[in-house]
Amino acid sequence: MAKNYRQLNESLKRRINPENFELEKSFSDELATLSYSDVLTYIRLAMKGVEPEYTQKSKDAGDRVKNHLSKKISDVTFRYQGSVMTDTHIRGYSDIDLLAISEKFYFIDLVGLKQILESNDQRLCYNQSVIERMEKEVNTNTYRGNVLQDLLQLRLDIEVTLEEAYDICDISKPKSIKIKNKSLNREVDVVVANWFDDVSVIINEKGEYRGIQVYNKESNSKGLPDFPFLSIELINERSSETNGRLKRMIRFLKNVKADSFKDIGLSSFDINAICYDIEISRYEKLSFYELVPIIHSQLSDLCLNPSKSDSIMSIDGREPIFKYNSQKLENLRLLMAEVEGVFDDLRKALDL
């Protein structure tokens, strides 16, 4: 079915700029030069970041939650995660994820560390300073508390604090507490977690390489390790190297997915990995509409070439995206069909 780009453009504008803030003049002027083509206008809008005023309000709402909690709760580090931190969110009214990470303990992959330290062959793969850091991690763990009890208590303390501070506070979800800041019209999800350090984290001297495990109140358990800060750093670095082009491609795919009539089961995590995998040399000097054939080629290759789709890893390099997941590949084909429609209309508009 042919796409109604005028309708899509109006919907896109409402999504990324719901309060109709005045657009930056340079971007407004650029759109004016594209007014002859609805599909070009759509592509440019779909690649645009949310207006800074909206993003700042989301961050301000998170900071106010953090300030409330900091006054009442100790032994915790607060960090943000999610697409707002990479400016790849596509909604003006985006919520923000605030992690409350316990500092009473951190989980170490002792099995992995000991496996290296107890094998002469594996020890030879690392320099002495790295071996010493591993030995220190194995030998200096002095925590004697109850991990799950500490995480539960942190969750309960946060619930009490936020219920006192906010009229709208939902504590029913097992992995997060959602509040709404009514003056800023923003929601904040507060997630309790602990640090997770494995061999790779220790080799790289922690920092943004550190992982987290999210606490589930309902099952009283810790989730699988996740490494959001490294992914945020790598996306920001890669996009800086390409003058924002990586983020344009990510936003484009997210908006095309959002505008589809089909339910496309691909997450931001998946879309980030798809775009990050594209070789920089293929797109680093291209204009915005020239990025569409690059995206189309990437999706086509993934859909048609099993060895290619099997090779796609998460940005942190730890998790395959499509391997062993035929359902996700089917959803990729749905996204591919949407992108192909835009690509075909672009070629017609440019008379290619």
Whole-angstrom Cα Rg for the chain = 23
pLDDT of 157 above 80 = yes
Residue 99's pLDDT band (cuts 50, 70, 90): very high
CB 266 within 8 A of CB 331: yes
Segment 125-152, tens digit of pLDDT:
999 999 999 999 998 877 889 999 999 9
One domain, residues 201 and 276: no
pLDDT of 194 above 70 = yes
The number of folded domains in the chain is 2
**What does the buried/exposed string (b/e) look like for 46-76 if buried means 16 or more CB atoms within 10 Å of the residue's CB?**
bbbbbbeebbebbbebbebbbebbeeebeeb
Closest CA to 257 of 245, 269, 265, 247: 265
Domain CATH number, residue 124: 3.30.460.10
One domain, residues 267 and 133: no
pLDDT at 26: 79
One domain, residues 269 and 318: yes
Closest CA to 150 of 109, 208, 113, 195: 195
Residue 25's pLDDT band (cuts 50, 70, 90): confident
One domain, residues 62 and 195: yes
Structural domain span for residue 288: 5-48+232-349
Residue at which a domain ends, from 226, 248, 269: 226
Segment 198-250, tens digit of pLDDT:
999 999 999 999 999 999 999 999 999 999 999 999 999 999 999 999 999 99
Mean pLDDT rounded to a whole number for the chain = 95
pLDDT of 36 above 70 = yes
Q: What number is the average pLDDT over the span 70-91? A: 97
pLDDT at 70: 97
One domain, residues 155 and 206: yes
One domain, residues 41 and 63: no
One domain, residues 275 and 305: yes
One domain, residues 59 and 177: yes
Q: List, in sequence order, every beta strand (DSSP E) within the chain.
A: 76-81, 96-108, 169-170, 177-181, 186-197, 211-216, 221-222
And the tokens for 101?
């990470």
One domain, residues 289 and 185: no
One domain, residues 201 and 244: no
Residue at which a domain ends, from 206, 226, 246: 226
pLDDT of 40 above 80 = yes
And the tokens for 29?
């002027």
pLDDT of 41 above 90 = yes
pLDDT at 352: 64
One domain, residues 209 and 332: no
C-alpha 204/C-alpha 99 separation (Å) is: 22
CB 276 within 8 A of CB 315: yes
SS (H, E, C) 121-181: HHHCCCCHHHHHHHHHHHHCCCCCCCHHHHHHHHHHHHHHHHHHHCCCEECCCCCCEEEEE
pLDDT at 203: 93
Residue 2's pLDDT band (cuts 50, 70, 90): confident
Residue at which a domain ends, from 226, 250, 282: 226
CB 118 within 8 A of CB 131: no
One domain, residues 41 and 107: no
